[in-house]
Amino acid sequence: MRQIFLDTETTGLSADNGDRIIEIGCVEMLHRKLTGNNLHIYVNPGRDSHEEALKVHGITTEFLKDKPRFEEIAEELIAYLRGAAIVIHNAPFDLGFLDMELARIGQPKLATLVASVTDTLVMAKELYPGKRNSLDALCDRLEVDNSGRTLHGALLDAELLADVYINLTRGQNVLQMDDTSTTDTAGNSVPMLDLSGFRLPVLQANEQEAAAHEDVLMQIDKSSGGKTIWRKLSAAAV
């Protein structure tokens, strides 16, 4: 399956009020492995960024002055995304801007050009209800290195999103096995070892270890005010 992790930077927060895309970053993954076939485009929006947006991405009007307009890069972008499974963090935001840009040049909405759109923010909220689920928060929670993210950048954020997605979707399914074989990291079938005849040795605790264990139990029982369950079970047995 071909997946594209996509992020945009914009002049502001509202596509409906005339804000425009200024940067698009796309990272390609095939069969859960990065291919390096990425797409990174700066776009001249024909307007200035809002001050608050500029603080987020740091991309100035002067820098974008000689960059292509969206209509000049649209064909390349559509060809790259067509038929892929798209993954976006907070998808309605990016889709709103992309669909507005596509509508300006007479193109259909992005969802009609691709196989699917997955929103990792929705996924994260289901996995971590009530917690912060921004991209930075997920990087911290899932131990994805985002130390290079001093400002938002579409390509960097798409790369981080790919790492976050891999961690979000790395579940117990990778440990599932049948009665006769499992798979290695390359997906090759590997016979399982028959451990039915193997017997683990039982090592009895010596007197010193048993005494130390009993001391720990007594301390726990004392801290609980004599309410530990093993004391109740011992008393009931007597």
Q: Band of the pLDDT at 201, cuts 50, 70, 90?
A: confident
85: nearest Cα among 110, 50, 51, 52: 110
Distance CA 91, CA 96 (A): 8
Hey, how many other C-beta atoms are within 10 angstroms of the C-beta on 136?
Answer: 15
Give the mean pLDDT of 166-170.
Answer: 91
Q: What is the pLDDT of residue 204?
A: 86
Kind and range of the H or E run holding 85: strand 85-88
Cβ atoms of 105 and 71 closer than 8 Å: yes
Cβ atoms of 32 and 75 closer than 8 Å: no
Distant-in-sequence, close-in-space partners of 62: CB < 8 Å, separation ≥ 6:
none
Give the mean pLDDT of 35-60.
Answer: 96
- Output DSSP code: residue 36: S
Q: What is the pLDDT of residue 225?
A: 73
Q: Identify the residue with better confidence: 235 or 144.
A: 144
Domain 2-171 has CATH 3.40.50.10320: no
Asked about 152 being catalytic, the answer comes back as yes
Q: Band of the pLDDT at 172, cuts 50, 70, 90?
A: very low
- Does residue 130 surpass a pLDDT of 70? yes
Distance CA 135, CA 148 (A): 13
- Output DSSP code: residue 89: T
Q: How many helices (H) and strands (E) does the chain have?
A: 9, 8
Q: Band of the pLDDT at 173, cuts 50, 70, 90?
A: very low
- Does residue 192 surpass a pLDDT of 80? no
Q: pLDDT of 74-109, one tens digit each?
A: 999 999 999 999 999 999 999 999 999 999 999 999
Q: Which of 40, 50, 89, 152 is catalytic?
A: 152
Q: Identify the residue with better confidence: 210 or 186.
A: 210
pTM confidence score: 0.70
Whole-angstrom CA distances from 158 to 32, 44, 148 are 15, 20, 13
Whole-angstrom CA distances from 207 to 140, 210, 211, 215 are 46, 5, 6, 12
Structure tokens at 50: 């809002």
Residues of the chain with CATH 3.30.420.10: 2-171
Burial class (CB within 10 angstroms; exposed 0-12, middle 13-18, buried 19+) of 138: buried
